Amino acid sequence: MKRALVMLAVLSFGVECLAESVRAKDVKRLDRAARVMHEIMNAPDQRIPDHILKHARCLAVVPHLMKGGFVFGGEEGKGVATCRTRAGWSAPTFFEMGGGSWGTQFGVEAVDLVMVVRGNEGMEKLLSSKFELGRDASAAVGPVGRHSSENVDLKMNALVLTYSHAKGAFVGMTFDGAVVRADDAAQRAMYGARGTTRRALLGEVSPPAGARPFLAAVRGAEARADGHGTRRHVRRSGRGLHETVAVR
């Protein structure tokens, strides 16, 4: 009986250590995703346009995605996602991206990828445990530049707009056939059994402390987009200061 209790204690300790190790990797993934958001938004002529960000339903980031195929379980093929809720951006979820064929305008070894998921239909794809870009969810290379205006091009009807950067430069890529699936191991390690992808993205799970830098980067990008959408003019008259707001 004592031996069984000892073995149970040892196994429990091992599981806790493993979960802690996975959580540490999850936090690193979130930190890298935060860095990607900062770098992309700091490129004035190649950043995600303001109107695209302001109407994004969800944002998904894959730091350092390797060229030459996506390998499930490989660190380079893992990302994080967050969606809008009534209370703000949701607790991030973890996913893997792999398979499919992908093209580029010129060769690179690795890219940082941001996917802008649009509308409730796009969000439903992200809430599912698995979907394929180009088949289950239409995808297109998104326009770049803060002042880029949305047009009636067919790609603007895509559920997912992709933004890929390498060495600070935009390298428009297509990702048709790439499969996005939930990273269940990372999800359980961070949130426990009840913290499913659906519950997290719907705002039913509180964001962990380790997600603060990533969510702050997302909120900062949104605030910059909102700030660029208006400009204020202050004029002085005999009756005091008057402010008018013009929408760009």
The pLDDT value recorded for residue 12 is 40
Domain spans, the chain: 16-231
Residue 161: CB atoms within 10 Å: 22
- Residues of the chain short of pLDDT 70, as ranges, are 1-20, 44, 67-76, 100-109, 146-156, 168, 228-248
Tell me, what DSSP letter sits at residue 159? S
Coil, helix or strand for 177?
coil
The pLDDT value recorded for residue 75 is 44
The pLDDT value recorded for residue 175 is 81
Looking up tokens 């992808």, which residue turns up?
A: 197
Alpha helices by DSSP H, listed for 128-182, are: none
Residue-wise pLDDT for 176-200, tens only, equals: 888 899 999 999 999 998 899 999 9
Please give the Cα distance from 175 to 183 (Å, whole number). 19
**HSE-up of residue 30 (Cα within 13 Å, Cβ side):** 25
The pLDDT value recorded for residue 232 is 38
Residue 55: CB atoms within 10 Å: 13
Q: Specify whether the CB–CB gap between 80 and 63 falls below 8 A.
A: no
The pLDDT value recorded for residue 59 is 97
The pLDDT value recorded for residue 143 is 84
Parallel, antiparallel, or unpaired: how do β-strands 78-85 and 88-89 relate?
Answer: antiparallel
Is residue 124 exposed (0-12), middle (13-18) or buried (19+ Cβ within 10 Å)?
middle
